[in-house]
Amino acid sequence: MSYDFDLFVIGAGSGGIATARRAAQYGAKVGIVESDRLGGTCVNRGCVPKKLMVYASHFPYEFEESAGYGWTVGETSFNWLKMITAVNNEVDRLNGIYQRMLDNSEVKLYRGYGKFIDSHTIEIGEQKVTAEKILIAVGGKPVKPDDIPGVEHAITSREIFNVKEQPKRIVIIGGGYIGVEFACILNGLGTEVTVVIRGDKILRGFDEDLRTEIQEGMERHGIRILNNKPKLSIAKQDLGLEITIPISNGESEIIVADAVSLAATGREPDLSNLGLENTGVEVVKGAIAVDEYNKTAEDHIYAVGDCTDRINLTPVAINEGRAFADTHFGGQSRKMSYENIPTAVFSTPEAATVGLTEAEAKEKYGDAIKVYRSKFRPMYYTLAGKEEKTLMKLIVDTNTDKVVGAHMVGDNAAEIIQGVAIALKMGATKANFDATVGIHPSSAEEFVTMR
């Protein structure tokens, strides 16, 4: 049978575009459809604009710290609208780059919603296209919990980048990495921030020492964290949003805020209106089920990224997509490895991690693990007169001497852990770390001097 395309991609986020371009480089005829802006969540409503806002939030601390080094900084002020406009202009610029990349790769872009009519046919508005292979890369979307009365008045991480006026007070519900990051951003920019979490600590699933260190750092910087608060309600009032939080003995605390961010209450695969019922693709627990090669229950339909709800990170989606393209169009059969994937939380203080947490290592290796910790004040803060701390942690399997986990909280944690991740990926031992000469003076040298 003759098809319009060798490969058709549904979703032009980071994973979809990476796959389409790689397949086209191998000579495949490729089409892609997108109903929203190119680049997906990461470029438009996630990693990129968020990181720019992180940079903006650090300047007040740096102005203050510079005094210890002899600088006198005059009166400062912050213009939220100028910042948010600059951030969105950069997103616009990146969208143009993605368009040019698709054009240069000769990938045909369709604008609209792609929906399966049958397992080889996609409908886009009035048009229909067919493809020998189809890749689903539609990503995920933020969800609001339906057990919170008044939740319709809340915003999510999608809307925060379009807020024209800085919130004076904000309540962030949930302690996942998105909520934690926005809490730190807004606090740094001068907003009064309260974080409400259902558990006793933020960042469930991360290493316990890392969770504790970040939470203490956030509170030290003035963020109020209310833990063990499983219930609350939201009501819209003339002065803003009124958040009622039960405390104990029938009593409640009422917080009035300008906005509520529910970004950290979760995300889910965005599978609406895909027409999956017209295919053999299976959906399990709200996500597209795939095998180790990202193949669905239909032999010619594949899926990558957040819509499979495995490890929801942009570089993972990109790597999955390129592995698919290499395998099917490049003659290089390979699959994505999910071991030792580094990740970061761009909080203040920043955190990054790769490999197993201490709890995971104990479960896997039992008493054979040995944990190395170091906590210190970096040199930068001595003259600044601040008691900011850096935490570094290595987890070692003493049976093999391999380092199976590395965690850090402190300045430039993501930049440092990226290099450490290479060592873990290569199977480095603690002896390898010990034999490496440190760069002095630096915080990073602590990873090779811990005893």
CA dihedral (207, 211, 213, 215) in degrees, to 10, reads: 180
3-state secondary structure at position 436: coil
- On whether both 320 and 400 belong to a single domain, the answer is no
CB 278 within 8 A of CB 120: no
pLDDT of 429 reads 98
pLDDT of 262 reads 64
Residue 191 lies in a domain: yes
- On whether both 281 and 325 belong to a single domain, the answer is yes
> What pTM does this model have?
0.95
Residue 335 lies in a domain: no
- On whether both 27 and 123 belong to a single domain, the answer is yes
Domain boundary among 265, 284, 313: 265
Residue 336 lies in a domain: no
- On whether both 105 and 135 belong to a single domain, the answer is yes
Residue 334 lies in a domain: no
pLDDT of 157 reads 86
* DSSP H helix total and E strand total for the chain: 11, 23
- On whether both 191 and 244 belong to a single domain, the answer is yes
pLDDT of 266 reads 79
Distance between CA atoms of residues 75 and 79, nearest Å:
14
Query: Which portions of the chain are predicted below pLDDT 50?
Result: none
Distance between CA atoms of residues 301 and 290, nearest Å:
10
Residue 337 lies in a domain: no
pLDDT of 263 reads 52
Under DSSP, the state recorded for 437 is: P
Instruction: State the SS3 of 209-242.
Output: HHHHHHHHHHHHCCCEEECCCCCCEEEEECCEEE
Residue 419 lies in a domain: yes
- On whether both 180 and 64 belong to a single domain, the answer is no
Distance between CA atoms of residues 104 and 106, nearest Å:
5
Domain extent at residue 386: 343-448
260: domain CATH number?
3.50.50.60
Report the DSSP beta bridge partners of residue 169. 192
414: domain CATH number?
3.30.390.30
Residue 338 lies in a domain: no
List pLDDT tens digits, range 48-106.
999 999 999 999 999 999 999 999 999 999 999 999 999 999 999 999 999 999 999 99
- Where do we find the tokens 């054009």? 103
- On whether both 217 and 305 belong to a single domain, the answer is no
Distance between CA atoms of residues 187 and 445, nearest Å:
31
pLDDT of 264 reads 61
Domain boundary among 329, 353, 376: 329
Q: Which residues belong to the active site? A: 440
CB 306 within 8 A of CB 269: yes
- On whether both 361 and 260 belong to a single domain, the answer is no
- On whether both 134 and 160 belong to a single domain, the answer is no
- On whether both 275 and 255 belong to a single domain, the answer is no
In this structure, what token pair is assigned to residue 343?
């990740």
Residue 435 lies in a domain: yes
- On whether both 107 and 236 belong to a single domain, the answer is no
Under DSSP, the state recorded for 139 is: -
Overall number of domains in the chain: 3
Burial of 103 (0-12, 13-18, 19+ CB in 10 A): exposed
Domain boundary among 227, 244, 265: 265
Quote the distance between the C-alpha of residue 414 and its chain's center: 13
- On whether both 172 and 92 belong to a single domain, the answer is no
